Amino acid sequence: MTDSPLDFAVIDSERAARTGYPEAVFCAGKTIGQAEAIITGMAEGGIPVLATRVQPPLADRIRARFPAARYDPLARTLTLGRCGDSPRGLVTVAAAGTSDLPAAREALNTAEFLGSRAELICDVGVAGIHRLFSRLEDIRKARVVIAAAGMEGALASVVAGLVRSPVIALPTSVGYGASFGGLAALLGMLNACAPGVSVVNIDNGYGAGYQAHLINLMGGDE
Amino acid sequence: MTDSPLDFAVIDSERAARTGYPEAVFCAGKTIGQAEAIITGMAEGGIPVLATRVQPPLADRIRARFPAARYDPLARTLTLGRCGDSPRGLVTVAAAGTSDLPAAREALNTAEFLGSRAELICDVGVAGIHRLFSRLEDIRKARVVIAAAGMEGALASVVAGLVRSPVIALPTSVGYGASFGGLAALLGMLNACAPGVSVVNIDNGYGAGYQAHLINLMGGDE
Amino acid sequence: MTDSPLDFAVIDSERAARTGYPEAVFCAGKTIGQAEAIITGMAEGGIPVLATRVQPPLADRIRARFPAARYDPLARTLTLGRCGDSPRGLVTVAAAGTSDLPAAREALNTAEFLGSRAELICDVGVAGIHRLFSRLEDIRKARVVIAAAGMEGALASVVAGLVRSPVIALPTSVGYGASFGGLAALLGMLNACAPGVSVVNIDNGYGAGYQAHLINLMGGDE
Amino acid sequence: MTDSPLDFAVIDSERAARTGYPEAVFCAGKTIGQAEAIITGMAEGGIPVLATRVQPPLADRIRARFPAARYDPLARTLTLGRCGDSPRGLVTVAAAGTSDLPAAREALNTAEFLGSRAELICDVGVAGIHRLFSRLEDIRKARVVIAAAGMEGALASVVAGLVRSPVIALPTSVGYGASFGGLAALLGMLNACAPGVSVVNIDNGYGAGYQAHLINLMGGDE
Amino acid sequence: MTDSPLDFAVIDSERAARTGYPEAVFCAGKTIGQAEAIITGMAEGGIPVLATRVQPPLADRIRARFPAARYDPLARTLTLGRCGDSPRGLVTVAAAGTSDLPAAREALNTAEFLGSRAELICDVGVAGIHRLFSRLEDIRKARVVIAAAGMEGALASVVAGLVRSPVIALPTSVGYGASFGGLAALLGMLNACAPGVSVVNIDNGYGAGYQAHLINLMGGDE
Amino acid sequence: MTDSPLDFAVIDSERAARTGYPEAVFCAGKTIGQAEAIITGMAEGGIPVLATRVQPPLADRIRARFPAARYDPLARTLTLGRCGDSPRGLVTVAAAGTSDLPAAREALNTAEFLGSRAELICDVGVAGIHRLFSRLEDIRKARVVIAAAGMEGALASVVAGLVRSPVIALPTSVGYGASFGGLAALLGMLNACAPGVSVVNIDNGYGAGYQAHLINLMGGDE
Amino acid sequence: MTDSPLDFAVIDSERAARTGYPEAVFCAGKTIGQAEAIITGMAEGGIPVLATRVQPPLADRIRARFPAARYDPLARTLTLGRCGDSPRGLVTVAAAGTSDLPAAREALNTAEFLGSRAELICDVGVAGIHRLFSRLEDIRKARVVIAAAGMEGALASVVAGLVRSPVIALPTSVGYGASFGGLAALLGMLNACAPGVSVVNIDNGYGAGYQAHLINLMGGDE
Amino acid sequence: MTDSPLDFAVIDSERAARTGYPEAVFCAGKTIGQAEAIITGMAEGGIPVLATRVQPPLADRIRARFPAARYDPLARTLTLGRCGDSPRGLVTVAAAGTSDLPAAREALNTAEFLGSRAELICDVGVAGIHRLFSRLEDIRKARVVIAAAGMEGALASVVAGLVRSPVIALPTSVGYGASFGGLAALLGMLNACAPGVSVVNIDNGYGAGYQAHLINLMGGDE
């Protein structure tokens, strides 16, 4: 199967062969028509689809055509099919607070779409650190932890000091004025005083979930 | 006693009456001669002196003239006399790491100069959170806690979630590239997810110690 | 009473035991449904509620269920109950101008919710410094002063040079283009040339009021 | 007289005719040899010289050749001759603190070089506002006030609320970490809550003195 | 006449005595009700009113009550009365392009409100420098020039190199992405290579007009 | 023909003589009425029109009056006439992804309006570099390449290392949080490790197309 | 074995039990005496030592005491012992250019110290993409790739589009002016258009090597 | 000839075939030994060498070995041989002031090394615009103009409005505080109000000269 050109996009149908997975459809900045055409093209080509930043009207149009599509309005992800389903290790998404859920769930849904088992643990921000400790055993079961937090993003540092697995830090745009749209959390996570942390873009749950899945994959089946 | 004008400075000798304390001498950006003249003028006027950002050559000149002056080369503070010595509550400076000591000790020395009892607890950064917990009872004895940290500055958030006293966050310029001279820690502390935190300027141990002392003063003698 | 898990939030019901006060509900970034569930859960658990950044539709739904809830549309705070009511010292919020009132009133309402006596003094910006001086005796009665200002935020420096109590600086996002959403006031306040100032996040009236109350508490009952 | 080309510079000898004054020689970024050649060329062409950012070695070479040259090592200005000497109004430079003197004196020397009467009033920062008030009558005598301050730069706002003359705000690079080399003072002054303030570049005493002189000139001889 | 307190504002009725002019009403960030009350209070107290950032609904309410009020929808200024009307020199506002007119007209209206004669010269941006030269004689008639420009803000530098009068640079938020809301023009104007330029905040036509009027006033009546 | 003044704009009708081309009408920040009047004035004066950032209502009004006008809703450009039509070399616009098309098509339409032959090659971002290589022969046919990309903007570096022609880098505002409105792509392109790249403003397709056409023109007719 | 307190540091001797590895000694901001005491304390306690940002004088002192210490002057790392030596997968560090070697070698040395097999592939920047392709088979052998690059940091995006393993992006401070000390590369890597990339702090080779080793560990022994 | 690997660098000897020119050696961040080895390797392989950011000690070592090497200490460039010498059009570098010469001469030397005829016109900054006009006929002779300027960088806009050829804008790090190391000039040039401008990195004379040469090449021999 070769790349199928639309006049505004080229579906990279060989991507799975090259990197293991199909590309996701990032819908921000695309018109509904463009996004629909790309998703439809992939779906009809038998490629599993993960679309991110999907607004409800687009979701409605896709689900009208493909009733099997699942839409998570909080995460704004839409999926059609799944890339695999192997009994691997666990990806755990630890979210500091309720307001971090959109990014955290985008990460969760991405890891699951790619084939990982994944869990979400919510409201374990460091302001009430006993909540984090009360879930620590669960978090330690993960092969990779995604730490999603806005504000100062301290969750990544604290978790990385407590677990043996790699931590993917996912800064979110949650916060008062001087969070500057997530910049404070981003810088905080990049400067994490604990090693074992690497960082993705602000609110980029997709990137966090993808990287976590690749790492999870390292471990082979259990 | 009235303000005594030099041609480049006016010693605010009424400041103690107005706000309770004499002004400190911030030596960065002043020539050695200017700083020496101001310190000498205050000392000869019987005003207790706290000078900050004092380089060794200036310290040598002051101590040659005033042998009672104490110089802390790590904190770069020089003091002559003390503002009071009353049996008040405790100001505790919790420093994340050894590299944060210059700012932390400037804070410690300032609080002591102004009349507080003060203690320094070092190396309680959140990367090894058990070190923080092992000192928590000590930290909880303080009427005010100064949390000094560079990198992501998460210490302020974590401490504020664990104590009942107000926390003064003191960001330091310690860190790798994207700490941007302390900006990451500053933003992190301003965005602390726990309430009960207020922040001073990067590496401004003087400001942290002064504010902590004012708060300590609230409580009266024990 | 243990933490009561919702699927998207964990109410930290032990927080009062640990730090003295229940956590506030920061409603920005939460859906109305999430915020309503959290507030309801707390209220039904007998925990006093302070919710911030509350839009009118959420306020309407809460007040329909809990007629005793009070909503301040300017401050966007909603309160249900109060944490205490002890005859302590006074927290005074000095606001530079009318446009600073949303943040200033959030601070005022927070301090009162937590149990402090609190007063608001408006329109004492330094452009007309006689207005500040005409209220100086009132401001000096406070045990803690919150200085709320946008633009260049000079109010914090000037007040701190005139009073003996600690000043909590609350930068607001008020201003022309190069205020950059409050950044100018924030930097100005962090660089206050007078000591005795510490700073909270832009427009974070909640943080200012909380910190002021903790300091007020230092002084015990009068 | 026409422009006299060196191979690395063109002396704009018609500038006086066009804008009233010769151009200054900004020595930062020029080699000593380049700066010396330009200054010499102007001096030999009978053009009064104002050179800024002059390091001592260059000053020594110029004064060896032109003994009448005056060098201010604090301001780092060197002047040879003067543009006029008319009995105009007064330019007053108000400096917040001793550390602001390099920029403040560059402004003072510039205004005097161009022909204004000029005065420097030092150490009137707003942290001790009574010092400012004690000099207010002197400041009000000026036809233009230059307010030089680092840190939060609040001096500009406060002075502008107290005088009828225009205020030229001169931010300096004095301050702790988050002054970011004068950015805090610059933003503070641009956001001055009092009207009647306009701002020049950080540490640009030359620009402040020049603008103040032009305004002073408006008023004609007294 | 004393300050008349509303519960959210204090009208500074002595400001005219102190600085020569009443304060303007900056309506951004105020509710319509607040702005209306302040304007009404001033108008009924016989104080001339200049309100800025006035949206049409507020303008409609003010004009319903005070038919003499004039509203400029492009500048978003509303005026009621005028501070003076003396035969002084000319303030000229030179605007680079049509998109700069909102800020430029705010400056124009402010200078006129305060009592200056003022003129607007439009579309003289440096991309077509012959347009600037064709109006140069007009611009040279001014006692003060306001140079309003977005994008790179080069107009200020070029004009200041061509006239003898002081130039007030007014950066506007006009431009493509990396103008960053006027930051590029602001920095450009602060770094103007020609002396005789001082700068006000982005889109702050009020500040530019006020400063220009103060300078114009220097010259006395013609 | 002389400049025809409107009261808010001066049409630079001599611009074609001076620089070779009429000026474009940048409609952002202009009212519909202003933009319409300028476009109409040019069209009636026989000047070819290129208007950018045209919203549909303005396009509708222009097309009602001038049915020959062409509007590209994705690029938001409107053109009336064309500057030339000579058989020159090719300008190729390489766009990283579908979301970059608005800027890429603005560039394409500009180059064509000015007289170049131009082509758009879409979806050749470096994440799937085989897509770029599969179009490399086409890209190498161009005399100038415009590389339009958001996110990290790596397309410019990679293309410049593969072709002999100059590359104009066009950063777009496409991306997750820390793209900061295109700043990441802009900085990436300015720091391109391959020489032969110069950069225009974020989303400034007009500037890219104009510069590419000027360069194309260098080569004369084929 | 318990934590052994110095007066300025607490050696976290339980860290290995908690997270698997001892902490590294970050020597920037520590005096030589402090760093020497910490390293000596760890070495004498039998803990393997990795010290980063080690200047030659400190290295000389350590090697005088511990001849087995190895110092890499380009990477500025000093190691004493090694944490393990198990036949795991390969960590490959791909460096864009020679100037990136200090950070790249810090990463390499860190991964080896922790027990990974590691290789460095140099000068594979995207400006000459054939150099990257000529090493691609080698790079594909790695279980984790560290992509070290300054300037625009495009190497991370391109590599991530070509391999199946996770990529740790290591931005370096190499570049011309607008690299802003590595900010351009950092933002570029955070915005990588290819998934499978996570990022560490600027020049933080230690963090990159640590994270890569943790991921390598996932895979177990081969 | 194949790539000759050193252990820290791979000389891209096929680059000339691929893009037309050998790569330059950027010496900042390389040790003297590394730079010397790379230059020697190229020279001995018969590849013409352009090295940038060369400090005098390195230049001395190269010239000791290769007496034909030419070193420009102001531009910090070293060249050995030249890429061509064809009678093409002219590249003109217009520099705003003497302080801009290091970057301007790096551009000049680069264009000449690559084979262009090139000229430098100095001190034509817009503060004295008659100096620019007096050289305009010379500037108009160029096929490409490089406009090198620091401070506000207005030269690019003004020149681009006056010539028909493309303008490469070269921002320099010259300026007072708020030039922020050339950021002001960079933003100014990116926001140039005249089309026909594209921009290279701050102080990147090499990039400007390279791009200008590529464009010059478009025109073929004259």
Does some domain include residue H222?
no
Does some domain include residue D119?
yes
Mean pLDDT across the stretch B191-215? 95
**Edge-to-edge order in the sheet of strand H70-72:** H25-26, H49-52, H77-80, H70-72
Per DSSP, the three-state class of E55 is coil
Please tell me the distance from the alpha carbon of residue A31 to that of residue A6, in angstroms, as a whole number: 14
Please, what's the b/e burial string for E134-151 (b: 16 or more CB within 10 A of its CB; e: otherwise)? ebeeebeebbbbbbbbbb
Residue C77 has pLDDT above 60, yes or no: yes
Chains A and E share 3 or more Cβ pairs within 8 Å: no
Residues D52 and D107 in one domain: no
Residues E42 and E130 in one domain: no
- Between chain B and chain D, the number of residue pairs with CB atoms below 8 A apart is 58
Please tell me the distance from the alpha carbon of residue C142 to that of residue C111, in angstroms, as a whole number: 13
pLDDT in tens, A72-97: 999 999 999 998 766 578 999 999 99
Opening angle at CA G161, ends G158 and G164, nearest 5: 130
Does some domain include residue D222?
no
* Side chain identity, residue A146: I
pLDDT in tens, D44-100: 999 999 999 999 999 999 999 999 999 999 999 999 999 876 657 899 999 999 999
Residue H14 has pLDDT above 90, yes or no: no
What pLDDT does residue H5 have?
Answer: 52
Give this prediction's pTM. 0.92
Residue H17 has pLDDT above 90, yes or no: no
Measured from the Cβ of residue F222, the count of other Cβ atoms closer than 10 Å reads 10
Which among A108, A103, A163 has a CA at the least distance from the CA of A132?
A163
Q: Output the average pLDDT for chain A.
A: 89
User: Among E80, E100, E135, where does a domain finish?
Assistant: E80
Measured from the Cβ of residue C104, the count of other Cβ atoms closer than 10 Å reads 31
User: Among E62, E80, E98, where does a domain finish?
Assistant: E80
> Does residue C180 belong to the interface with chain B, where contact is any CB pair within 8 Å?
no
List all residues of chain G from 147 to 166 with a beta carbon under 8 Å from chain A: 160-166
Please tell me the distance from the alpha carbon of residue F151 to that of residue A29, in angstroms, as a whole number: 12
Residues C38 and C148 in one domain: no
What pLDDT does residue A2 have?
Answer: 41
Mean pLDDT across the stretch H146-165? 94
- Overall number of domains in chain D: 2
Residue E222 has pLDDT above 60, yes or no: no
Q: H helices within chain E, ranges in order?
A: 15-19, 32-44, 56-65, 101-114, 129-134, 136-140, 155-160, 183-190, 205-218
Residues H76 and H93 in one domain: no
Residue B222 has pLDDT above 50, yes or no: no
- Between chain D and chain E, the number of residue pairs with CB atoms below 8 A apart is 103
Residues C54 and C100 in one domain: no
* Phi, psi values for residue E36, rounded to 5°: -60, -40
Query: Contact B82/B113 with Cβ under 8 angstroms?
Result: yes
Does some domain include residue D12?
yes
Contacting residues of A for C10, CB less than 8 Å apart: 122-124, 131
Residue C175 has pLDDT above 80, yes or no: yes
Query: Contact A176/C201 with Cβ under 8 angstroms?
Result: yes
Helix (H) or strand (E) holding B147: strand B144-149
What pLDDT does residue H53 have?
Answer: 95
Residues H110 and H203 in one domain: yes
What pLDDT does residue D1 have?
Answer: 34
Ordered mean pLDDT values, 10 residues apiece, chain G (222 residues): 54 65 88 93 93 96 96 96 80 95 97 95 91 94 96 94 95 88 94 93 96 85 47
> Does residue G110 belong to the interface with chain B, where contact is any CB pair within 8 Å?
no
How confident is residue B95, by pLDDT bands cut at 50, 70 and 90?
very high
Contacting residues of B for C147, CB less than 8 Å apart: none
CB contact under 8 A, G128 and H31: no
Mean pLDDT across the stretch C97-126? 95
Burial category of B130 from C-beta neighbours within 10 Å (exposed 0-12, middle 13-18, buried 19 and up): middle
Does some domain include residue F132?
yes
Does some domain include residue G222?
no
Dmax over Cα atoms in chain A, in whole Å? 55
CA E156 to chain centre: 16
Residues D64 and D98 in one domain: no
CB contact under 8 A, E207 and D195: yes
Please tell me the distance from the alpha carbon of residue A122 to that of residue G209, in angstroms, as a whole number: 30
What pLDDT does residue A222 have?
Answer: 45
More confident: D4 or F27? F27
Per DSSP, the three-state class of E16 is helix
Please tell me the distance from the alpha carbon of residue G220 to that of residue F124, in angstroms, as a whole number: 37
Helix (H) or strand (E) holding B188: helix B183-190
Query: Contact F168/F212 with Cβ under 8 angstroms?
Result: yes
E202's tokens: 């982005």
Query: Contact F124/F157 with Cβ under 8 angstroms?
Result: no
Q: Considering CB atoms only, which of E9, E12, E173 is closest to C98?
A: E9
Contacting residues of F for A28, CB less than 8 Å apart: 99, 174
Query: Which residues are bridge partners to C167 per DSSP?
Result: C145, C197
Please tell me the distance from the alpha carbon of residue B181 to that of residue B175, in angstroms, as a whole number: 7
> Does residue A75 belong to the interface with chain C, where contact is any CB pair within 8 Å?
no
Measured from the Cβ of residue E157, the count of other Cβ atoms closer than 10 Å reads 35
Mean pLDDT across the stretch E119-147? 93
Does some domain include residue D64?
yes
More confident: C139 or C15? C139
> Does residue H194 belong to the interface with chain E, where contact is any CB pair within 8 Å?
yes
Residues C161 and C200 in one domain: yes
Angle between helix C101-114 and helix C205-218 axes, rounded to 10 deg:
40
Does some domain include residue H160?
yes
What pLDDT does residue F1 have?
Answer: 34
Please tell me the distance from the alpha carbon of residue H158 to that of residue H208, in angstroms, as a whole number: 18
CB contact under 8 A, H180 and E187: yes
List all residues of chain D from 79 to 98 with a beta carbon under 8 Å from chain E: none
Residue of chain G minimizing CA distance to A168: G198
Residues H75 and H99 in one domain: no
Residues D9 and D113 in one domain: no
Q: Which domain holds residue E135?
A: 88-217
Measured from the Cβ of residue B61, the count of other Cβ atoms closer than 10 Å reads 16
Mean pLDDT across the stretch D38-45? 93
User: Among G32, G54, G80, where does a domain finish?
Assistant: G80
Hey, of E110, E217, E218, which one would you mutate to test binding to chain D, going by the most D CBs within 10 A of its CB?
E218
What pLDDT does residue G11 have?
Answer: 63
> Does residue E146 belong to the interface with chain H, where contact is any CB pair within 8 Å?
no
Query: Contact A148/A102 with Cβ under 8 angstroms?
Result: no
Q: Output the average pLDDT for chain B.
A: 89
Residue D3 has pLDDT above 90, yes or no: no
Please tell me the distance from the alpha carbon of residue F214 to that of residue H215, in angstroms, as a whole number: 10
Query: Which residues are bridge partners to G119 per DSSP?
Result: G92
Q: Considering CB atoms only, which of E152, E193, E194 is closest to H157?
A: E152
Pick the most confident of C19-33, D62-76, H3-17.
Answer: D62-76
For F148-196, the three-class secondary structure string (H helix, E strand, C coil) is EECCCCCHHHHHHCCCCCCEEEEECCCCCHHHHHHHHHHHHHHCCCCCC
Q: Considering CB atoms only, which of H101, H131, H175 is closest to D8?
A: H101
How confident is residue H86, by pLDDT bands cut at 50, 70 and 90?
low
What pLDDT does residue G179 have?
Answer: 86
pLDDT in tens, F151-205: 999 999 999 999 999 999 999 998 888 888 999 999 999 999 889 999 999 999 9
How long is chain A? 222
Query: Contact E53/E28 with Cβ under 8 angstroms?
Result: yes
> Does residue D7 belong to the interface with chain B, where contact is any CB pair within 8 Å?
no
How confident is residue E22, by pLDDT bands cut at 50, 70 and 90?
confident
- Could you identify the residue written with the tokens 């933490």? C3
* Phi, psi values for residue E109, rounded to 5°: -65, -35
CATH code assigned at H169: 3.40.50.1970
> Does residue H31 belong to the interface with chain D, where contact is any CB pair within 8 Å?
no
More confident: D4 or C185? C185
How confident is residue A133, by pLDDT bands cut at 50, 70 and 90?
very high
Residue of chain B minimizing CA distance to D105: B8
ipTM comes to 0.91
Q: Considering CB atoms only, which of C191, C194, C218 is closest to B218?
A: C218
Query: Which residues are bridge partners to C197 per DSSP?
Result: C167
Please tell me the distance from the alpha carbon of residue D144 to that of residue D161, in angstroms, as a whole number: 14
CB contact under 8 A, D98 and B204: no
CB contact under 8 A, E131 and F3: yes
Mean pLDDT across the stretch F44-53? 94
Report the DSSP pairing between strands F4-5 and F10-11. Answer: antiparallel
Residues G69 and G155 in one domain: no
**Edge-to-edge order in the sheet of strand E117-122:** D117-122, D90-95, D144-149, D167-171, D197-199, E197-199, E167-171, E144-149, E90-95, E117-122
What pLDDT does residue E197 have?
Answer: 96
**Edge-to-edge order in the sheet of strand B49-52:** B25-26, B49-52, B77-80, B70-72
Mean pLDDT across the stretch E1-21? 61
pLDDT in tens, A20-66: 788 899 998 889 999 999 999 999 999 999 999 999 999 999 999 99
Per DSSP, the three-state class of A220 is coil
Per DSSP, the three-state class of D2 is coil
Contacting residues of G for A147, CB less than 8 Å apart: none
Residues C126 and C209 in one domain: yes
DSSP string, H46-89: T--EEEES--HHHHHHHHHH-TT-EEETTTTEEEES-S------
Query: Contact A58/A71 with Cβ under 8 angstroms?
Result: no
Please tell me the distance from the alpha carbon of residue A59 to that of residue A38, in angstroms, as a whole number: 13
Residue C3 has pLDDT above 50, yes or no: no
